[in-house]
Amino acid sequence: MQIVETTNEGLKRAYTVTIPATEISARIEGEVKRMAPQMKMPGFRPGKVPANLVKKMHGPALHQEALQTSIKEAMDKLVADNALRPAMQPDVSLGEGYEEGKDAELSVSLEVLPKIEAPAIDGLKLEKLTVPVSEESVDEQVQRFAEQQKSYETVEDRAAADGDQVLCDFVGKLNGEEFEGGKAEGQAIVIGSGRLIPGFEEQLIGAKAGEERTITVTFPEDYGAENLAGQEATFDITVHEVKVPGETKIDDDFAKQLGLDSLDQLKGLLRGQLEQETAGLTRTQMKRQLLDQLAAGHDFDVPPTMVEAEFEQIWQQLQNEAANEEDPEAARAEIEAEKDDYRKIAERRVRLGLLLSEIGQANGVEVSAQEMQMLLQQAAQQYRPEDRERFVDYVRQDPMAAAQLRAPLYEDKVVDFLIEKAEVTEREVTRDELQAAIEADADEVKTDAKPKKAAAKKAKKAEAGEEAATDTEAGEAVIDAEPKKAPAKKAKAAEPATDDGAEAEGKPAKKAAAKKKPEADEGDVAAEGEAKPKKAPAKKAAAKTED
């Protein structure tokens, strides 16, 4: 085998590799000898099939397999002999005109990881903003929880008032004709909830059980259904019941209705949730400080292919989000104007990833086999039961897929290691102040070149979550105040809608927290020095199952 280097510029490398025809032929002969004793063919005793007949029957397949094996071994030798650390999979092409019996000439191009001196980790200083959980905040959570558990009691001969629940049927009409999605039966509507289009709930005030009435409403100009936006419509309503909110007494009995022993136990659980939430926010704030310090102190070339892969992932996410905005074209125009900034974000993320990887390796940070097994099993759960084993096998056989799966946990472990090494000062703040600090950091244009408007908006959505209408009821889908998100998005297994306190009145479930803005200060690292490919292994595996 002959290897000749043709390019060595910066992080770019190129080679020509020649695999002798004799080497490929030897592999084929070896495989024929292995197969012949196991083959059966009419007219020959078992194991006595001549080698030439084996080659005649399986020649093309044997040649292809031998060629692929030779190429793989050639790549392994190329990387080992030249002490290369490929940033991504090398681009390998077989010379034109190749045919069996000729030497195989390969053109190989790749980018390598930069040599990074292990950075000094002494002198890191971080401010830890902590939020003490007060009894008042716990009581507020208990009260909010009680509101979510509110029950309604039917009353006789009473006109509906603000805050009451009305159980009714309705039929919507546009220009006297029923329209799709404007009809529902047994719909529970809470007057004053603001969940339906403006004017709908208010016109139910004064209604009584058994009453029929027709109301007129005008759909908002920006309504999601184009045929209804800005249109005046009528709804024929039949009221079945009027219900008033029952009094929810917050005591031990209330807690027992929830399956708990006491009110103190409920408060303890809610206090734990608050502490966990604020601890997560505190860690986000500290991590951003840490990565800003690392980014400010290190500047080195990064492989363009890694940057492009990272950018493509960010860009695809932004395009998907834009498609679900009220005005998709305007949203696309906004991100298009900031395209260069997003590319800088991608470059910073790659640089931080490589830097954290180097720190982790230099300090013995690693993901254990047990931790990797847990990651693998968790990731496999997103697939159908019959596809999970194939996904697991795929990740185990593909080092780069395994590296990607391992990378987020590896990053967390390196970040935790650095936080432990840093000089940390603590300062108590309110939750609002902590949230403001995180959002201010997200909005600040520093070395990460974050787009100014989008970063703060997306970060805020990521922390707070975003209401999304659901179409669980035909009528509900149409008259809901903001049916702006595409139903298709809810269908994705990776983004299930969560029933966050949806009540009997048909309150739409909240969607899972909005996708986090691809901030530059969240450097995804490559596990154990591997370049982290940005094409998710999940996509590859999914493609296999769909074939």
Which band of pLDDT confidence, cut at 50, 70 and 90, is reported for residue 47? Answer: low
Long-range contacts of 322-331 (CB under 8 A, 24+ apart): 323/486, 324/484, 324/485, 324/486, 324/489, 325/484, 326/222, 326/224, 326/484
What pLDDT is attached to residue 290? 92
Lowest mean pLDDT among 5-9, 79-83, 440-444: 440-444
> Considering only 16-30, 49-63, 94-108, 250-264, which range has the smallest mean pLDDT?
49-63
Q: pLDDT by residue (tens digit) across 378-406?
A: 999 999 999 999 999 999 988 888 988 99
Cα 43 from chain centroid (whole Å): 60
Please state, in angstroms and rounded to a whole number, the distance separating the CA atoms of residues 528 and 357: 6
Most confident of 119-128, 444-453, 470-479: 119-128
Q: In b/e form, how buried is each residue of 287-316, taking b as 16+ CB within 10 angstroms?
A: bbbbbbbbbeeeeeebbbbbbbbbbebbbe
Within 8 A by CB and 6+ apart from 102, the residues are: 21
pLDDT at position 89 is 87
pTM above 0.85, yes or no: no
Average pLDDT for the chain = 79
Q: What is the mean pLDDT of residues 466-493?
A: 33
What pLDDT score does 116 carry?
A: 87
DSSP-derived secondary structure letter, 38: G
pLDDT score of 234? 95
State residue 487 phi and psi, 5-degree precision.
-55, -30
Distance (Å, whole) CA 516 – CA 500: 19
Question: Residue 306 phi/psi, 5° resolution?
Answer: -70, -40
Q: What is the pLDDT of residues 306-361, one digit of tens each?
A: 999 999 999 999 999 998 887 888 899 999 999 999 999 999 999 999 999 999 99
Q: Considering the chain, what percentage of its residues have pLDDT values greater than 90? A: 52
pLDDT tens-digit map of 251-308: 898 889 888 999 999 999 999 999 999 999 999 999 999 998 898 888 899 999 999 9
Q: Residue range 177-205: average pLDDT?
A: 92
Which of 56-70, 203-217, 368-382 shows the lowest per-residue confidence on average (mean pLDDT)?
Answer: 56-70
pLDDT at res. 79? 93
Task: Give the separation between CA 257 and CA 433, rounded to whole angstroms.
Answer: 36
Q: What's residue 42's pLDDT? A: 73
CA distance 450 to 517: 10
Measured CA distances, 147 to 141, 258, 312, 387, 455 (Å):
10, 14, 44, 42, 33
The answer to which of 75-84, 298-307, 489-498 has the lowest mean pLDDT is 489-498
Mean pLDDT over 532-547 rounds to: 34
β partners of residue 347? none
In this structure, how many other beta carbons lie within 10 angstroms of the beta carbon of residue 271?
17
Reduce the DSSP state of residue 190 to 3 states and report it.
strand
Is the pLDDT reported for residue 449 higher than 60? no
Sign of torsion over alpha carbons 445, 411, 306, 381: negative
pLDDT reported for residue 534:
35
Residue 273, both tokens: 């949730």
What was the pLDDT predicted at 13? 94
Residues contacting residue 379 through CB under 8 Å, at least 6 positions apart = 391, 395, 405, 538
Angle of CA points 314, 320, 321, to nearest 5°:
90
**pLDDT given at position 296:** 86
**Which residue is listed with tokens 């078992």?**
46
Residue 544 confidence class, pLDDT cut points 50, 70, 90? very low
Q: How confident is the model at residue 151 (pLDDT cuts 50, 70, 90)?
A: confident
Which residues make Cβ contacts (< 8 Å) with residue 456, sequence separation at least 6? 439, 442, 443
